[in-house]
Amino acid sequence: MSAHPLPGSQVQVVLSDCSAADAGHLFAVLCSRFASDRCAEDEVREAEGHHPTVWTGTFDTEDAPENAAIPTGRLSGPVTAEVQGTPHAVQLVRETLRGAFAVSELGEDAGDQEVQVQLRLEAVPAHESESV
């Protein structure tokens, strides 16, 4: 957990083990529902050299529209996401991700006022997304 708690409606999302394109697609899904520090014009880029790259974004769940359509997410491979914030805010982000991707929970660390969840996200197979 971070040393400084996030405001109650904010969730920090940290992505790893994925390409810049996949990080961009995932952030676009979240930005379709939540206000974010990631601008629509932000281009997600790979780091120079052969260093591991991690992408982060902060999403505000306070004014999230209810029952908003969630676009189907596109991913070329699995993505690991760490989602941290208050239990309610993390739940809203988790529901949005479940609407766009196949989600497996890898672990959860709960504190007094915050929770951190590690998720594995994958594209929904085409035959499943067509039947929705």
The DSSP bridge pattern shows strands 115-123 and 79-85 to be antiparallel
Give the pLDDT of residue 101: 94
Collapsing DSSP to helix, strand or coil, 20 comes out as: helix
Collapsing DSSP to helix, strand or coil, 32 comes out as: coil
Give the pLDDT of residue 74: 85
**Do you know the residue count of the chain?**
132
Q: Which contiguous run of DSSP H or E holds residue 31?
A: helix 20-31
Q: What Rg value do the Cα atoms of the chain yield, rounded? A: 14
Give the pLDDT of residue 27: 92
Give this prediction's pTM: 0.82
Give the pLDDT of residue 84: 96
Give the pLDDT of residue 131: 46
Q: Is 125 exposed, middle or buried (0-12, 13-18, 19+ CB in 10 A)?
A: exposed
3 contacts: CB under 8 Å, gap ≥ 6: none
The DSSP bridge pattern shows strands 115-123 and 35-36 to be unpaired
Q: What is the DSSP letter of 40?
A: T
Q: Taking a C-beta distance cutoff of 8 angstroms, is the pair 72, 124 a contact?
A: yes
Give the pLDDT of residue 8: 76
Give the pLDDT of residue 46: 62
Give the pLDDT of residue 63: 87
Q: Which residues pair with 84 in a beta bridge?
A: 12, 116
Residue 78 CA to residue 18 CA, distance in Å, equals 7
Tens of each residue's pLDDT in the chain, 132 residues: 455 556 779 999 999 888 888 998 999 999 989 999 876 566 666 656 666 688 899 999 998 887 777 777 789 999 999 999 999 999 999 999 999 999 999 999 998 889 999 999 999 876 554 444
Give the pLDDT of residue 132: 45
